[in-house]
Structure 1
């Protein structure tokens, strides 16, 4: 094991105090006063400690983490300045010129990790200003997938003093044979937006990279910067590793949460029988009016498709905003996204319709208001998005919720109370994702190699792999060297060779393929969309493109274009003529279920309504709806489980309302259908949403007997889930991601990428081979575990079943569909009716139900 570079001694107290005075003078010159938590962080850094900073968006987290290294750099200079050194003009001029190189400039000493490439440039701008003002002779650069090749080539020879990068680029740097030498002077790693990385495989990628850096630099200081997080203690442990440290880590709570103003657009009339998405664009005039009131507004939607739809709708309503209205999502060309971000910073844009691509730490000071279209699905998500407005500690943040159905008004009232009560979601780290470990082991083998026991002990110093066994490690080594039992005869899977006890990659081809495959972000194959004689627009997924033929029109980046042809993984288009409208692309993405915290807050609002309390404008608006629910059925209390049965021309309907989120309800629906069918042969149709699920059968379900005998028991749960779900197909789908991360399939070189169909066929074949000839393959076991946790939220499913066993069942036989049942019935009809037929049928059903509601409870409104 190579000897670690000795850690530099910390500056003396006197030199540190003098440098700190210079930093305070910089704040005074900017007419700012540092917050106590910022000073507390600087002191902890000066003591050589690592830690976690948790503070609300827009309250100074970045400078809390940044000024510790800056003060240390000043203290190490002879004669630290006591006043700022550079003017605004000097900062701008220096920021625009290429970073000069000289022997006097220190090598890499600060690594700043950001989760998004889009954040790198913005972060660099925030960091460079005080660095230049204080006269530090440092260089600062970014390194992401968007970095110019000339800059990357220069960085191969010498890294800047401060490098802002992503998890993927950091892992790529570890493939260099001289990586240890490149990091020899590293003092600190700062992981920005740690709450976003924590619960993802990218977070595991960061853990493994940090373990390697700490091996080379044992005294390395690691700081996380986070917001909107419930489990701070575990978040810190995951970042710093489970082993005890010489110095006690610091957990620093930032400035008290600034005022968050949450209001809602209240529709002029509320339909007492809502269905998902039926409001939406009906509230366009109110959204346009809200945008008009503010200097600059971000309009958040939950999907890229919604972003395209709302952008077009707003622009049709206000054509005079052309050039002042923009859209931003992850499938747009990065040049377009950069233009939008610059326009926001300069205050040139009236509004931007966006997705989570603008959720994180970009500082857009001109933004005065945020609009959330549809349910935020989580408390932390709305809090994070609210923080994009009033991005200054002294200003309020304002977010306006726009419901897409009436029940989302209850969610808006619930999320406001949850935020004010401090009930924020926790984020749980992955446990032993072997696909990420396999990729990391090959990365280290490419970057000079490793010895068996050294890397084993190193990865066990991470939280995710702290329980890795000798047997599992032996399996990983066998897998990367010989392909495991099933792939021994195929040399392409023998990536790593063992030479004199050291594991190395000696094939330039394998090393090149691995470098191109580093990362844990997987998705459907995307193709670049470009005008025949013009710029790139962005990307669409292959699954959407497969439905188009030349001449078809679609919308991307707010432009209606016509497909000309597809060649070399590029979609060539021309501008559509006339007033044509085009299809909206549908991008694959995770379905966000209602979080546990928001679901609990939602149930609390229902409990208040059951007691006759309708507090706030949202609850007053949905009062007629809940009055019908109470009159025709029941409003469930927190300790109750409501079950409704209704007969219609379609058959016999059972509606069950656990309020546990869509993914759990999908699993519960399949589980209940299976357990009911074991009692009596019966076939069910199913639907699920965030509030409950529906089972429909041609004959009555044996519900009462099943409830008496434990319909919701956790006994034999694993076996029942395996029988009621297509676990093989679900496992195959999940295995596609695992196979890509583990390097079992290669997407292809630039210009010769494999199609999604080819990759799916390859991973499907591998899944079958492992199942038949290597059933003990640990990647198969990982696929099964991830299906349970990611597609069914298994832990939450078990918790929900236990709660249902304890709950008091309230059973109602209803003559008609209730307001809670109606959206479930509509969701099921969506699967077999066109949009036009569905709309007509819903309208007729609503008219019948509204007349019945008016007759029964209308006089009490």
Structure 2
């Protein structure tokens, strides 16, 4: 076992610290090539990851004549959040300085100044804390071999969160490069919530990392929050529960109140303040607030000055936010792993149960929250299987590699396959990415701007060395919605309040009010790409700050909901919800796991069709588009549809007598192919992939393009490639991305495979209890077709009759 320095052991003993078994085990495995540690939140897994580093650097210090470890980078720590690196730096310095260890610890993120970045490249610290984007940037410089030559260990914190996005793919390509620059480098992955540990171990290292499973700790103390007023039929605000939530805040030291979207968090925070008669100190925290405001909230949390924080995913991960003793999840969690992660923020201590309450926002979410509680108690985590590493990220990596210097294609191909997500990458796909990076592909190779690489003396290199700066400016896989700063009018030098989406700002007219940072502001105008506002206290906002992303309910939770329906036992549900399900049984029936329930009924002069696919919001939305297209072909005159996570409601002018032909898998797929061709969804997906792959620049010579400029460029490119090069690599990437993401056709196919044509067709003659909430759902999509033309003709006929002209 690698021994800790005596001074560090003494310092820990003096504070009553004792190593947990998994922390000791990490010291035993210090020499292993790759280790994945899975430990519960509060289990000290981050310290466990650093213990071998502290032991090795401490041993170097003890043997050094000058009493200092050898200079140079020893350990690289990578986390998904900039704030997490700053928090770790503070927490790690305490034992290091307390034990008198001469170890330099610094962080490097997007917030690090240019002077400090240059100094770190010239004289790296012993431990560098960074993010995937900053690591990719460091590896793109020509002096990367010198900086990383002595690297001994890489620690990837919250690896489960990185593995779910392209940031993780980018990071694993970076680790493959580090392995070549520093042979023998050891990898450590840290995570609290993992549904498939062996798969995550293969992600961390292609040969698989050794698994170290810590004691999972005590069962969490979780329940649904009872409320005097039952949840409404639809909506996501949970305003009915604010009195009970405030009572919980009063009776606990510090409470985190999680929401699934920023818009919901803003609206809820505003509503809470209107009812906060005791003036409890409550703040709001999410990613679109100004950095200064977020930091003030974080500092107040750490100091124990706040009783509650209304927040979103920005507080999901492992930052120690002070004395939090309760977590409240408002709205169905949609994902068991996310819920477990959030629950762990309460009682952030090992072997202390976390306390959490779930607050369903509407009647159906009561059922989903019940299923989520059962899954957490059973430690049954969800997660979709990972696909192969995305090729747009690989294209970016090839360009970044060229920015660092000439490379041999075969050597780079072998290196890339050492990254877990790309272990099965074919040479043909690699060569396609290389050709794209070099020339832009067949249809674009005639344009000089995309002639970026050339082959010389058997190695690929940049045609113009000056293009390296542009490549570096555009590194990264986070494609957020383009945003504009929000600032008080007449305060040009003042700190911004935060950001709003560019598309949202375009809808505002002077006088409109909206929420940001929990306050109502009045839109005054747009000046030099800044949204200028004034204070407007006491008025209800007309619009929310942004639409926000709506998570889709996971497959695992869907299975549990259907199992609950099949059991017929609603005894664990509130009376209002249990009665609702009983009534559904009487009027129609409840959906079953291996069958597809479809209801047809008239309402207010329209014929309605409700398909209970339980495929998630994106897939149900796509199902609405495809089924209405089929209905149009069959002359059924559809007028519109609306979708939720569990159902799609369609209305039209003609009744459906047999829904089975509308769900023919082959014809649905054919319809999808036709619909996707020139669709805005595909253009949006293309733009994101084109930016990541390096076809479209986000920044040029330090000047960032507006969202409209980038969209205009990408739309022209998309239409050009579709016409002249339909097999272009980026079109293939776009199609794969859309099928898995915004369109989510895979879950429609899974639904059809699960039900195998077994349809329960019910015609109850009236609206059913389960369908009723869909009539209140926002986001209705109109269908332009024969049905709308018939309505216009009928309206014209009535007008002519009224005028005596018919």
User: Which TM-score applies when normalising by structure 2?
Assistant: 0.91
Partner of 1:175: 140
* Structure 1 counterpart of 2:570, from 614, 618, 621: 614
Instruction: Tell me the matched-pair count.
Output: 778
User: How far apart are residue 714 of structure 1 and its match?
Assistant: 4.0
Corresponding residue to 2:183 among 195, 218, 235: 218
Rounded Cα–Cα distance in structure 2 between residues aligned with 1:813 and 1:588: 35
Change (3 A) 1:363 1:753: same
> SS in structure 2 opposite 1:547?
coil
3-state SS of the aligned residue for 1:461?
coil
1:260, 1:397 within 8 Å by CA — same for their partners in 2? Answer: yes
Do structure 1's residue 301 and structure 2's residue 259 form an aligned pair? yes
SS at match of 1:645: strand
Determine the C-alpha separation between the residues in 1 that align with 2:668 and 2:678: 14
User: For 1:388-427, what aligned pairs fall within 5 Å after superposition?
Assistant: 388-427=345-384
The superposition leaves residues 84-133 of structure 1 with CA deviations (integer Å, 9 ceiling, x where unpaired) of: xxxxxxxxxxxxxxxxx999652111000010112111121222222223
The answer (yes or no) to whether the contact 1:390–1:397 under 8 Å persists in 2 is: yes
Tell me, what secondary structure is at the counterpart of 1:757?
Answer: helix
Offset from partner CA, 1:408-440 (integer Å, 9 cap, x none): 111121111111112101254342422111111
Higher mean Cα deviation, 495-504 or 678-687? 678-687
By how many angstroms is 1:652 displaced?
A: 1.6
Paired position in structure 1 for 2:736: 785
Alignment partner of 2:694 out of 726, 743, 747: 743
- 1:728-750 superposed Cα distances (whole Å, 9 cap, x missing partner): 43221110101111122223358
In structure 2, the residue corresponding to 1:189 is in which secondary structure?
strand
Contact 1:309 1:584 in 2 (8 A): no
Q: Could you tell me which residue of structure 2 aligns to residue 670 of structure 1?
A: 625
Aligned residue number for residue 209 of structure 2: 249
Change (3 A) 1:112 1:104: closer
| Aligned counterpart for 1:67 among listed residues 44, 51, 55 | 51
The 1:427–1:160 alpha-carbon spacing in structure 2 relative to 1, beyond 3 Å, is farther
Q: Give the deviation of 1:666 after TM superposition.
A: 2.3
Aligned counterpart, 2:14: 29
- CA pair 30-787 structure 1, distance change in 2 beyond 3 A: same
For residues 66 and 566 of structure 1, do their structure 2 counterparts lie closer, same or farther at Cα, with a shift above 3 Å needed?
A: same
> Residues of 2 paired with 1:751 and 1:544: CA distance?
25
Question: CA–CA distance in 1 between the matches of 2:230 and 2:279?
Answer: 30
- Cα shift readout 1:122-175 (whole Å, capped 9, x = no counterpart): 121222222223332111111111123332232132111111100000000011
Instruction: Indicate conservation of the 8 Å contact 1:199/1:427, yes or no.
Output: no
Deviates more, 1:763-772 or 1:670-679: 670-679
Alignment of 1:154 onto 2:109? no
Map Cα deviations across residues 691-710 of structure 1 (whole Å, 9 max, x no partner).
2222222111132xx53x6x
Query: CA distance change for structure 1 residues 641 and 797 in 2, over 3 Å: closer, same or farther?
Result: closer
Aligned mate of 1:548, from 508, 514, 526: 508
CA distance in 2, matches of 1:688, 1:570: 35
Matched with 1:42 is 27
CA–CA distance in structure 2, aligned partners of residues 102 and 488 of structure 1: 58
Contact 2:256 2:328 in 1 (8 A): yes
Greater shift in the superposed pair: 288-297 or 551-560? 551-560
Query: For the Cα contact (< 8 Å) 2:229–2:241, is it kept in 1?
Result: no
Distance 1:752 1:479 in 2: 25
Match of 2:245 among 287, 293, 307: 287
User: Is the counterpart of residue 596 in structure 1 residue 555 in structure 2?
Assistant: yes
Q: Quick one: distance in 2 between partners of 1:548 and 1:686? A: 27
2:590 is aligned to 635
Q: State which of 29, 35, 44 in structure 2 corresponds to 1:51.
A: 35
Q: What is the Cα deviation at residue 727 of structure 1?
A: 6.0
Is 1:693–2:638 an aligned residue pair? Answer: no
Q: Is the 8 A contact 2:151 2:182 kept in 1?
A: yes
Is the CA contact 1:53–1:226 (under 8 Å) kept in the aligned structure 2? yes
Task: Check conservation: 2:189, 2:204, Cα contact below 8 A.
Answer: yes
Which of 291, 294, 312 aligns to 1:355? It is 312
8 Å contact kept, 2:470–2:701: no
Residues 142, 650 of structure 1: alpha-carbon distance in 2 compared, 3 angstrom cutoff: farther
Closer/same/farther in 2, CA of residues 73 and 751 from structure 1, 3 Å limit:
closer
2:250 is aligned with 1:328: no
Deviates more, 1:307-316 or 1:639-648: 639-648
Moved more, 197-206 or 490-499: 490-499
Which aligned pairs between 1:421-820 and structure 2 lie closer than 5 A?
421-505=378-462, 507=464, 509-531=466-488, 532-533=490-491, 534-550=494-510, 552-573=512-533, 575-576=534-535, 579-587=538-546, 589-608=548-567, 610=568, 613-616=569-572, 618-676=573-631, 678-679=633-634, 682-683=637-638, 685-703=640-658, 706-707=659-660, 712=663, 714-715=665-666, 718-723=669-674, 728-749=679-700, 752-805=703-756, 807=758, 809-820=759-770
Q: Higher mean Cα deviation, 782-791 or 150-159?
A: 150-159
How far apart, CA to CA, are the structure 2 residues paired with 1:584 and 1:105?
58
Whether contact under 8 Å (2:284, 2:310) holds in the other structure is: yes
Looking at structure 2, the residues matched to 517 and 150 of structure 1 have their Cα atoms a distance apart, in angstroms, of 21
The answer as to whether partners of 2:230 and 2:240 remain within 8 angstroms in 1 is: no
Does the CA contact (< 8 Å) of 1:712 and 1:804 recur in 2?
no
State whether residues 451 and 463 of structure 2, in contact with CA within 8 Å, keep that contact through their aligned partners in structure 1: no
Query: In terms of mean alpha carbon deviation, does 454-463 or 661-670 score higher?
Result: 661-670
Matched residues in 2 for 1:305 and 1:732: separation?
25
Instruction: Report how far residue 684 of structure 1 moved.
Output: 5.1
Identify if the C-alpha distance between structure 1 residues 348 and 750 changes in structure 2 by more than 3 Å, giving closer, same or farther: farther
Tell me if the contact between 1:676 and 1:702 (Cα under 8 Å) persists in the aligned partners: no
Q: Distance in 2 between matches of 1:225 and 1:295?
A: 29
| Deviation at residue 311 of structure 1 after TM alignment | 1.5
C-alpha contact (below 8 Å) 1:305/1:584 kept by paired residues: no
CA deviation after TM superposition for structure 1 residue 288, in Å: 1.2
Correspondence for 2:130: 165
Mean CA deviation greater in 543-552 or 57-66: 543-552
Identify unmatched segments of 5+ residues in structure 2: 783-806
SS in 1 for 2:680: helix
Could you tell me whether the CA contact under 8 Å between 1:523 and 1:588 is conserved in 2?
Answer: no
How far apart in 2 are the matches of 1:497 and 1:392? 55
Q: Is the 8 A contact 2:205 2:418 kept in 1?
A: no
State how far apart, in whole Å, the 2-side matches of 1:491 and 1:147 are.
35
1:203 aligns with 2:158: no
Show CA shifts across 1:358-382 (max 9, x none): 1111112311111111111111111
Is the contact made by 1:301 and 1:372 (CA closer than 8 Å) also made in structure 2? yes
Q: Is the 8 A contact 2:160 2:194 kept in 1?
A: yes
Identify which range, 166-175 or 658-667, moves more after superposition.
658-667
By how many angstroms is 1:443 displaced? 0.8
**Contact persistence 2:474–2:699 (CA under 8 A):** no
CA shift, 1:586, in A, is 3.9
CA–CA separation in structure 1 for the residues paired with 2:700 and 2:462: 19
Q: Taking structure 1 as reference, are residues 578 and 349 closer, same or farther at Cα in structure 2, changes over 3 Å only? A: closer
Following the alignment from structure 1 to structure 2, what is the Cα–Cα distance between the partners of residues 172 and 695?
A: 49
- How far the C-alpha of 1:577 sits from its partner, in A, is 5.0
Distance (Å, rounded) in 1 between the aligned partners of 2:756 and 2:640: 24
Answering whether residue 231 of structure 2 is matched by residue 275 of structure 1, we say: no
Distance in 2 (alpha carbons) for counterparts of 1:102 and 1:750: 45
Whole-angstrom distance in 1 between the partners of 2:702 and 2:401: 28
Q: SS state of the match for residue 51, structure 1?
A: strand
Structure 1 residues 751 and 76: alpha-carbon distance in aligned structure 2, compared to 1, 3 A threshold:
closer
- In structure 2, do the counterparts of structure 1 residues 452 and 823 end up closer, same or farther at CA, with 3 Å as the change threshold? same
